[in-house]
Amino acid sequence: MNTPLEEKLSFIYGRRSIREYRDAPVSDELVTELLRAAMAAPSAAAKDPWRFVVVRKRATLNLLADALRHGRMLAHAPVGIAVCGDLGAAHAGELSYLLQDCSAAIENLLLAAHALGLGACWLGVHPRPSRIDSLTKILRLPDNILPVSCIALGWPAEKQLPRTRFSPAYVHGESW
């Protein structure tokens, strides 16, 4: 990354999925800042349907790791954050808006974690019924709350090289 533009965007290119964490706590202050960043995301009609469950108890993190097929890193992460949505709060009560809003919040959270030196990994929950059911039970979510994803979070014990998956073949000008 040599150009001034690449340097300015390096925090985006450097954000990678981190699956190995040091045995070190993440402070409440940092978690609050991550959630502040998440909730700075755009939201359809400013409805902010996102809801978050912060998990620190090892037993619960282990249950989440078992419930998510690719979520083994949660068993070793100091923090897990379940990103959920309240369908009743979503713009026009639409699932699509809820998912878009929660996804924007997730990306903000991931970028903020990277900017603060933390490592994180986004684990998909929605639309898999078994994952939704498992997280709903484990986290005792009310009926109106839909788990969208789970984020494993901690101080990185691995380093991933910056990258982008940019492909000109995926870009069309003016029309397809």
Tell me the mean pLDDT per 10 residues along the chain, length 176. Answer: 85 96 98 98 98 98 97 98 98 98 98 98 98 98 98 97 96 97
Going along the chain from its start, the domains and CATH numbers come out as: 24-157 (3.40.109.10)
Residue 107 half-sphere exposure toward CB, CA atoms < 13 A: 11
pLDDT at 3: 85
pLDDT at 6: 87
DSSP 86-99: ETTTSGGG-HHHHH
pLDDT at 113: 98
E strands, 5-132, where?
50-55, 79-86, 119-124
pTM over 0.85: yes
User: What is the per-residue pLDDT across 39-58, written as a single tens digit (0 to 9) for each?
Assistant: 999 999 999 999 999 999 99
pLDDT at 1: 53
**What token pair was written down for 149?**
């994803």
